[in-house]
Structures are given as C-alpha cells and as structure tokens.
Structure 1
Amino acid sequence: MDTESFDAIAKLAYQESGLQLAVEKTSMIQSRLRHRLKILDLESFSQYSAYVCSEKGLAERRHMISALTTNVSHFFREKHHFDILETQARTTLLPKLRSGGAVRIWSAGCSNGQEALSIAITLLEIAPDIGDMNLKILGTDIDSNVVDFAKTARYPERLTSGIPPGLVSKYFGAIDTESERVYLAKNTVRSLVSFKELNLLSEWPMRQRMDIIFCRNVVIYFDQETQNRLWPRFHRAMPLEGILFLGHSERIADPENVGFFTDGPTTYRPTR
C-alpha cells in the first residue's frame, strides 16, 4: 500500500467512524482489506482507495470499517463491572422496575453480543421474572456483520468459555453440528435484548435515557478530540443515578469537566 492510498483510507476511516489508523499498522490494514479488493475485482490499493472515497464507493465504506474494526469479546469480560451492575440492580434498578418504571441498558460496541447477553443473564439471576417488567437491553455496533451474528444468539463452544458452568445449561441450549457444538441462548435471555447497527459518531435514535451504559474497548480507537465530543453525549443520555463503564485501558481524562466522577475501576457516574 503506497502512502497516498494509506492516507486516503486513514482519513476516510476517521471521518466515517472516528477510527485512528497508525502508519505502523499498514501491514495489518493491508491484510484486513485484501479480501475486499478480491471481492471488488480490484488489482491495487490505489484503485481501492480511489473507489471507496468516490460516490460509487459509498456502500463499500461500511465493509471497509467492518474489516478494520477489531471484534474481540467474551462473556462476562471484566467481571468487576458485572458485580457493580448486580449491586446497582438490587439497590436501584429492580425497585424502579417493580414500581412500574422503565430501565434501559445500552451495550455500545456490542461486538458479537456476548456483553449484552451477559447483562441479561446477570439480571435474570437476580430476578427470574425480570422479563415481565419494563426492561430493555440494547446492543449496538458499527459493524453490521457482528450485529447480524449477535441477533442469532448462537455461539460455538469456544466462544462460551467465560460463562460459569452452572449457567450454560440454564440459559443456553446445546446443538451438535457436524463440526462443533453450538450454544443457542434461550428465549428468556434473547427476549431481553435487541441488536442494532449504530455508528457512535452519528445521531443516536434512542429516546429514553440509559440507566447503564457499557462502552468498553471502543473509545481506545478514538483520538482525544473524538473522545471529548463523546463524553458529553453519554452524560446527556443518562440519568443522575446512571453508570458508564469503560474498558480496562480506557479513561475519561478529566471527568469533572464533562459531568462525571470516578466510582471504581473504569466506572463513572454523573455528577450533575
């Protein structure tokens, strides 16, 4: 990939999704995009960059971002966040639900859906009847491919390692295929969660405030300017008793200036 092609693709990726592509990652970027050249029957990255940056390449931009996005997740990742969620559910969310109120939880950057389903299972363990209440869990991701995967709620056995053994049979049904065992989330879990494609830098269609927001291992790919634009939007999307979870290597640089305070490892609450 020549410098001009890299610069064009990097600029477009930043404009479309906030992704920062370092020149040191050129080999990786080439590897991830090479199959797109093959699908489009293009011979060079210069041809690809010209195409994806043109009006004719508007649809290809989604495929490009999908190829460049790292989708790594597993069930109950960073368990301390789920411990906090459990405490918040017992003290705040469940009383709100049982009194007729609505609770909304957002898994922003949901990848293959493990995070959103982990949230659902955590709440079901506390209140098995929570499906009868006004609870909705939303999982969103910029990558349409992983959103489609998440909607199936089907996970090869190798992707279920984070689920405590006692919960696998309780919340998943096993299906043996010719090549491997697959686990399908039961309807009690699936009914609590919906998955949608969403670019965090675009408009957010949600009308109600989110009581809990998981946005983990997403903003690490954004520069500081993009992050600083995102924090106030999260703040406006939450009630005062809400919680924002970030990934283990992510931080709000100056939380007080954007209306948050730190309340545990990569855990933030609104101050006003």
Structure 2
Amino acid sequence: MSLPARTAAAIRIDDEDDHLTALDYKRIATLIVDEVGIKLPPAKRLMVEGRLRKRIRTLGLDSFDAYCAYLFKKDGLTAERPFLINAVTTNKTDFFREPEHFDCLEQRMVPALLELRRGERAPMLKIWSAASSTGAEAYTLAMVLADLAGQRGDFRFSILGTDISTAVLDQGQRAVYPAEMITPVPQAKQSRYLMFARKAGVRSEVRIVPELRRLVRFARLNLMDKAYPFDNDVDIIFLRNVLIYFEKVDQEAVILKLIKHLRPGGYLVLGHSESMIGTNITMRQVAPAVFQKP
C-alpha cells in the first residue's frame, strides 16, 4: 500500500541518511553569502540541514535532492528565497545581552549626546538596532531609555529594529516572548514593562507593554544592500555579534554605510568579539566595542 505523498515526504526527510550533496551545499552557501553576506563554511552543513528539514516537509518534498532541484532547476528560487534566508540565518538574541553596553548607554552615551544638543528642548534621540532578530535588543534599549527619560525628563527617543529575516521581525512586532527568556531583565523593569499571561496547559509567555511597543518599529533590511533607506541623523547604532559571520571586506563596507547614518558625535556599538582592527575606518573607541563618530 503506497503512502500519500506528504506522509512519505515526512518520513523520508527525517531520515538521518538524507543529506545535502557537497555541490548543493556549496550552491546554497554561495547564494546566502551573495544575498546577505553570511558565511556558511562546510562545518555548518549539519546545522543548515537541520533547519531546512521543516521547510522541506512544508513544501511536501521528499529529500534534499528534490528541494535543490526545486531551487535551482525548476525556477523555485524566486518564491523560496525569503523562506530559505529565514531558515538558515542565525537569530541568537537575549534581553540585556552584554549588559555593559546598556550601562554605557545610560551612564555615558546618552549624557554626552544630550550635552551636544543642550540648546534643544527635549531632543529626540534615535536609536537603531541594526540586527534586531526577534526584538530583544530593541526592547532592552527601550526599557533602559524609558527609565532614563523618566528620571531626567529632558529627552525623547525612538527605536528602529531591522533584520533580514521576516520571521523574526514578525515576532518583534508582536513583542511576545517565552517567559523563561526574560530572566535577565531586572525585576523592577519586569514589573513596569512586561505583561504576563498564564493559561492552563500553555507555555507561560510575556508581552511588552503597549507604551513601550509604540516607541519601537521594525523594518526589513539586508545589510548587503548598497544603501539603507533610513534617517541620516541617528544617535546610536547597535550592530552586535553579526559581523563575525561576514567576510572582512563586507564587514568594512557595512560599517562604512552605517557610519553615514550617524550624526556627528553618534555612537556605533559592536559585539565584544568584534573590532575595527585591520580596517580603514577611523572612529574613536570610548569603551569596549563602543566607537564614536568624530
């Protein structure tokens, strides 16, 4: 008795003996680096396969061979491109990740920026989370800035979160997270900025309060694009733990494009594992992985 096509597909694609060929993996890796700048060395093949299995089941295909034939031989790439990018891009994020940067934001960056604009009444600070993933970084920024604005009463702020993945941007827009994810958020901020939902038999979740959600917007951006359609007077840009996945030449190109969007005296914040050493970029380092535009 033959199985229905989709059932057979589900059985076949879960088979650990089914793998991408070296040629097909190279084609996918080349496509990803050309499209979004992210390197997928051979050591990442099992990770990529694991992430693609669910997508292949969704399409009702029965193997990696069939999926690659759909991509490269049957003109499926145009329709599949966003789903492929969503599947293979890394979206590791946490609230208050690398917390020293948020201390620096509160204690050094914001006071210095407001001093530069001391002639303005309640200036608007623009903050950009340039690889926002599911929005944890953007909402962490919003919590810190909302507290600081409440204490000082002399500035306003807005936050932009951008990412290549439409799936994570959708989650950022919804602002709903598993409750275990907010462990790093200080208790006082949990009380002010999170709404808790607990339903019988359902995983506990939290949602960012509406007052904070209104201050954060999300948009899709490919960092490999030639230009970025956003404001050129941004005060602070966070681009953390992303450049490590890019080739050196692409790292420098991305940083140069982002710098154009910073106002004089603005800050660029990288991940602690990233640096500008070996580039032709001249910015003053003011703290670990924190750089200021002249």
Which secondary structure state, in structure 1, belongs to the residue aligned with residue 39 of structure 2?
coil
Distance 1:135 1:96, change over 3 A: farther
**Total equivalences in the alignment:** 270
TM-score by length of 2: 0.85
Matches within 5 A, 1:128-147: 128=150, 135-147=157-169
Asked if the contact 2:37–2:247 (Cα under 8 Å) also holds between the matched residues in 1, the reply is: yes
Q: Which residue in the other structure is 1:201 paired with?
A: 224
- For residues 230-267 of structure 1, the C-alpha deviation after alignment (integer angstroms, 9 at most, x for no partner) is 12111111122111111121111235x22313222111
Contact 1:235 1:258 in 2 (8 A): no
For residue 134 of structure 2, what is the amino acid of its counterpart?
N
2:243 aligned with 1:224: no
Residue by residue, what CA displacement relative to the aligned partner does 1:116-143 show, whole Å, maximum 9, x if unpaired? 1111111111112899965220011111
1:249 aligns to 2:276 (yes or no): no
Equivalent residue, structure 2, for 1:71: 91
1:60-87 superposed Cα distances (whole Å, 9 cap, x missing partner): 1111111111212111111111011112
Report the equivalent of 1:32. 51
Structure 1 range deviating more: 117-126 or 100-109 = 100-109
Contact 2:130 2:238 in 1 (8 A): yes
- Superposed CA deviations along residues 201-243 of structure 1, whole A, max 9, x for unmatched, are 1231103321100011111111111112112111111122111
Question: TM-score, length-normalised on structure 1?
Answer: 0.91
Out of 63, 68, 71, the position equivalent to 1:44 is 63
Query: What is the Cα-based RMSD across aligned positions, in Å?
Result: 2.2
Unaligned runs of 5+ in 2: 1-19
Distance in 1 between residues matched to 2:260 and 2:146, nearest whole Å: 28
- Identical counterparts, % of pairs: 34
For the structure 1 residues 94 and 191, does the alpha-carbon distance in structure 2 shift closer, same or farther, using more than 3 Å as the test? Answer: farther
The answer as to whether partners of 1:244 and 1:268 remain within 8 angstroms in 2 is yes
Shift of 1:95: 7.5
> Aligned equivalents of 1:29 and 1:193: distance in 2?
31
Q: Read off the aligned partner of 1:160 and give its amino acid letter.
A: I
- CA distance in 2 between counterparts of 1:95 and 1:193 reads 24
Asked if the contact 2:169–2:219 (Cα under 8 Å) also holds between the matched residues in 1, the reply is: yes
Deviation at 1:41, TM superposition (A): 2.3
Structure with bigger gyration radius = 2
How much does 1:104 deviate? Answer: 1.1
